[in-house]
Amino acid sequence: MFKHLSPQQQFQKALSLWDEAMKAPFYRRRFPTTRPENAEAWQALPILKRLELFEHTYPRSKDMLTVPEEGFFISATSGTSGTARYVVCTHAEWEAFCAQQARALRLMGVTPRDLVANVFEAGYLWPSFLAVHDIVKQLNATHLPITSMIPPERILKYCREFKPTVMLSIPTMFVFLADLALKEGAPLEGLRLVAFAGEAMTEAQKAHIARGLGATQFRALAYSSADAGLMGYQCDHCQSGTYHVPTDFQLIEIIDPLTGKACGPGEKGDLIVTNFAQKSMPIVRYEIGDLGTWVAEPCPCGDPNPRFELLGRIGSDDFKLYATIIPMSVFERALEPFHEHVSLNFNLLVTPHESAVDLTLRVESADPEAAKAVIPAIVARIRELDVVINASLEAGNLHALTVQPVPLGTLERNPSTGKLIRLTDRRH
């Protein structure tokens, strides 16, 4: 359902976007006066960085616009990955973006018979909630526009009343709703597909959400951003984190950050994106901030659009204990066996303690008092799963490891995105 373009066809499309981009003062200053002649010349064009985009976007600057200021849709990227950036597109470009996303949902089996619960945040110029409205309209499915901004008990009540077959939200919210449904003692009825965006969803989270919400199918809604639109979609064969490129819509390059050269299959590099459809404010060779690698094998689904695997964010905030990086997944794995007592929504608080540090794992629970019974077992499991934490506790440079159950919904979320803040590091 997604068109496939060969690299040559993509290059032609990139050139016509280049022509559009040259109408904007920003790109005229930035690019050579003649069109790039081949892929090598294209790869020599400067990379657009986040900060540059922030400094040159509407309304601060009109430098990147190629059309008169009218008929725009303005949206903002979420604040979690640094400074929020504003992006404008025309209504026609917005429709085109939604059409791409609708295709991705059709591939997941969403049909007009589906009832789609939209549990995304609205407000803050965030596009997701409104995009889902237009996407569901294009699919001719039924739309239940709930938002995530109402009391979660109410979200669950709507779901019990209408029995949606598809639910769209962020993993933090799905985990929270699963916690509440389990607390109420009854999973949802009729929910098939959980389609998420904004964060990755771990296998442990999927198992938890299956228990609480009764969902059987879990999919990343797409790999997309307000900056650049849809950059990847999943078929039935795509593992978590693997996406097909919509080659008719987006040029994706994976480059070596040191040399700027294109990476071959299996080589890890920076994702650089160029959106063919966004002409009013072109995004050319934008460093989206994610790392990835090309998947060499053709996909068993038969779709000729190439696949890539996401390998995390550039400079993502790992938890460092002295010189060692501790993956946050350790804590999730430690909590998972105790799902009858605690949620998977947790926050790790790191505080200095004289020359050592204290670790406090705060975890939401439907019954924090009863959950106290499993604290020693959780601590033991963390020590068992992570040798560095265990050794640091024994050596005394980790002063204390404490687990603290707190009521559901009380851990801090990012106020604009609703994403749970997983790490609070007070050492700096």
Torsion, Cα 381 382 383 385, to 10 degrees, reads 80
Q: Please say whether the beta carbons of 230 and 221 come within 8 A.
A: no
Toward Zn ion, which CB reaches closer, 195 or 235?
235
| 309, 296 contact by CB (below 8 A) | no
Cβ-based nearer residue to Zn ion, 32 or 302: 302
Instruction: Give whichever of 309 and 332 is closer to Zn ion, judged by the CB atom.
Output: 309
SS3 65: coil
Q: How far is the CB of 297 from Zn ion (least distance, A)?
A: 10
Residue closer to Zn ion by CB (options 237, 261) is: 237
CB closer to Zn ion out of 93 and 303: 303
Q: Does 303 bind Zn ion (CB under 5 A)?
A: yes
Task: Annotate 242-275 with DSSP letters as a single string.
Answer: EEE--TTTEEEEEE-TTT-PBPPTT--EEEEEEE
Segment interacting with Zn ion, rule: CB under 5 A, options 84-92, 127-135, 263-271, 302-310: 302-310
Size of the site for Zn ion (CB under 5 A): 5
Distance CA 279, CA 411 (A): 41
Task: State the minimum distance, in angstroms, from the CB of residue 104 to Zn ion.
Answer: 12
Please classify residue 395 by burial: count the beta carbons closer than 10 Å to its beta carbon, then call 0-12 exposed, 13-18 middle and 19+ buried. exposed
Please choose, from the candidates 85, 160, 7, the residue with its C-alpha nearest in 3D space to the C-alpha of residue 416.
85
Closer of 127 and 246 to Zn ion (Cβ): 246
Minimum distance, C-beta of residue 108 to Zn ion, in the bound complex (Å):
12
- Report the nearest approach of Zn ion to the CB of residue 224 (Å): 17
CB-based contacts of 428: which residues, under 8 Å, 6+ apart? none
Our CB check for Zn ion shows the closer of 182 and 235 to be 235
Would you mind telling me the total number of residues written for the chain in this entry? 428
CB of 191 to Zn ion, least distance (A): 25
Measured CA to CA, the distance from residue 399 to residue 305 in angstroms comes to: 52
Q: In the 8-state DSSP scheme, what is residue 67?
A: S
Q: Which of residues 215-244 bind Zn ion (CB under 5 A)?
A: 235, 237
- Of 235 and 348, CB closest to Zn ion: 235
CA dihedral 36, 42, 45, 48 (to 10 degrees): 130
**Selection from 318, 255, 244 nearest residue 292 by Cα:** 255
Closest contact distance (angstroms) between CB of 307 and Zn ion is 7
Cis peptide before 59 (omega within 30 of 0): yes
| CB-side neighbour CA atoms (13 Å) of 336 | 16
109 by Cβ neighbours in 10 Å (0-12 / 13-18 / 19+) ranks as middle
Min CB(54)–Zn ion separation in Å: 35
User: Shortest approach of Zn ion to residue 288 CB, angstroms?
Assistant: 21
- Shorter beta-carbon distance to Zn ion: residue 246 or 405: 246
- Closest approach of Zn ion to the CB of residue 140, in Å: 25
User: Per-residue x/- mask for Zn ion, residues 335 to 374, rule CB under 5 A?
Assistant: ----------------------------------------
Q: What one-character DSSP code corresponds to residue 148?
A: S
Q: Is 325 helix (H, G, I), strand (E, B) or coil?
A: strand
List helix spans (H) across 120-215: 128-139, 152-162, 171-184, 203-213
CB of 341 to Zn ion, least distance (A): 39
Query: Which of 237, 313 has the CB closer to Zn ion?
Result: 237
**Residue 67, exposed/middle/buried by CB under 10 A (0-12, 13-18, 19+)?**
middle
What minimum distance in Å lies between the beta carbon of 374 and Zn ion?
Answer: 41
Nearer to Zn ion, 28 or 237 (CB): 237
Binding site for Zn ion (CB under 5 A): 235, 237, 299, 301, 303
